[in-house]
Amino acid sequence: MQLTDLTVRNFRNITSLDIELPEAGVVIIGANGQGKTNLLEAIYYLVLFRSFRGAKDRELVQFGAPGFFVGGSANTRVTAGYEVAGGRKKVTVDREPVRRLGAAVGRIVAVPFSPEDRGIVAGGPAGRRRYIDVLLSLSEPRYLVALSAMRVALKQRNAALRMGHGDTAQAFDTPFAEAAAIVLSTRMTWVERRTGRFRAICEALGEPEPAQLRYRRHGTKAEEEATDLRMLLASTIDRDLRRGTTTVGPHRDDLQLSLGDHSLQTYGSAGQQRTAAIALRLIEAETLAEATGQLPIGLYDDVFVELDDARQANLLTLIRDTLPGQAIVAAPRDSEVPPELFERPRWTMRGGKLET
């Protein structure tokens, strides 16, 4: 997959940008705070219609502007606009307005590598759930449908629980359990299929200890092993009523990442956590490539940060072998981007403007 052109208006510090992108991609060099990450964020907005930094839409709007616009073409033309006044976003695919965002998600496929990815490994379960939810939503259409249905049912069930209405809450058990079963099995199947690859990539990056990726269901042993979610919900209703929330289900689960016998979240060093985060991004790229039959665009933000020389060199080889498609690479220093991999034009970003 290849982004051929990009238009940006009033997106963070980028007032106006119209560029054509080279087939192999580009290296963007710029000092701190010039807009490199903003540019990658704008591109990724066309994938998910959300910020990869978790920012709200209105935070993406340039200070003082009424809204922002991003458009780009990669086989299909995708545009997204947001206006502060109505608080609405408008998305088009091949010039047709899209009513359901879910239908437009993933028309452009990219994988964002960011220094903040270490937070996926080092932070709490919510970040790891978000990681797997995004990648499965982009690779399996029915996953996004099930995930949305699960969230709607969960919200209603929790609202009833908070008001102490057990019967009303239980009316949502079936829709919740049906959607949750799809979410759970899709996640578990994916983890099972990728854990070997996760270990192999960590090893190739220079990690001597065997890395593991496991799916961890939340709850007691019996709850973890329950196959019938409806029965599980029925058995935990008293606890749910006491706590005013649904205490079992995929919305509480976690991806467990470890080196040897030790949790990476708790015991990993910065470089080890980064290594694991990069491995997660690379298996995301592989998953998307298999699902869509196209290589995702690699968006690399400061990708070498925290890695020692050996791991940097290994990463270069890995990127070349597993993600040889279009690469948009941002770095604060020219010297940080080894020319042997990224033989691409070098542009400079200054004050939200690209000098090509």
Task: Return residues touching ligand ATP (CB under 6 A).
Answer: 12-13, 30, 32-38, 59, 61-63, 332
Nearer to ligand ATP, 13 or 235 (CB): 13
* Smallest distance, ligand ATP to C-beta of residue 35, A: 4
Beta partners for 214? 256
37 binds Mg ion (CB under 5 A): yes
Q: Which of 180, 183, 200 is nearest to 286 (CA)?
A: 200
* Smallest distance, ligand ATP to C-beta of residue 290, A: 31
Decide the pairing of beta strands 262-263 and 25-29: unpaired
User: Distance of alpha carbon 319 from its chain centroid, rounded?
Assistant: 18
Q: Which of 69, 75, 74 is nearest to 57 (CA)?
A: 69
Residue nearest to Mg ion (CB): 37
288-307 exposure pattern, b = at least 16 Cβ within 10 A, e = fewer: bbebeeebbbbbbbbbbbbb
Q: Which of these ranges, 36-44, 255-263, 282-290, 313-321, lies near Mg ion under the rule CB under 5 A?
A: 36-44
Q: Which of these ranges, 29-37, 67-75, 224-232, 290-298, lies near Mg ion under the rule CB under 5 A?
A: 29-37
Q: Which of these ranges, 13-21, 34-42, 151-159, 207-215, lies near Mg ion under the rule CB under 5 A?
A: 34-42
Choose the contact partner of 112 out of ligand ATP, Mg ion, none; CB within 5 to 8 A by kind: none
Alpha-carbon gap, residue 62 to 80, rounded angstroms? 15
Nearer to ligand ATP, 67 or 249 (CB): 67
114 binds Mg ion (CB under 5 A): no
Nearer to Mg ion, 253 or 301 (CB): 301
Q: Which pair of structure tokens corresponds to residue 164? A: 């102490």
* Smallest distance, ligand ATP to C-beta of residue 86, A: 18
Nearer to Mg ion, 54 or 196 (CB): 54
Q: Sign of the C-alpha dihedral, residues 171, 175, 176, 178? A: positive
Decide the pairing of beta strands 96-97 and 67-74: unpaired
* Smallest distance, ligand ATP to C-beta of residue 331, A: 8
Alpha-carbon gap, residue 351 to 166, rounded angstroms? 56
Q: Kindly state the greatest CA–CA separation across the chain.
A: 64
Nearer to ligand ATP, 9 or 12 (CB): 12
Q: Which of 114, 103, 113, 94 is nearest to 138 (CA)?
A: 103
Distances (CA, A) of 191 to 188, 219, 259, 269: 5, 19, 16, 23
* Smallest distance, ligand ATP to C-beta of residue 189, A: 36
Q: Sign of the C-alpha dihedral, residues 21, 27, 32, 36? A: positive
Q: Which of these ranges, 37-45, 183-191, 238-246, 258-266, lies near Mg ion under the rule CB under 5 A?
A: 37-45
* Smallest distance, Mg ion to C-beta of residue 57, A: 20
* Smallest distance, ligand ATP to C-beta of residue 318, A: 23
Q: Which of these ranges, 31-39, 197-205, 278-286, 336-344, lies near Mg ion under the rule CB under 5 A?
A: 31-39
Choose the contact partner of 35 out of Mg ion, ligand ATP, none; CB within 5 to 8 A by kind: ligand ATP
What is the contact surface with Mg ion in residues (CB under 5 A)? 37
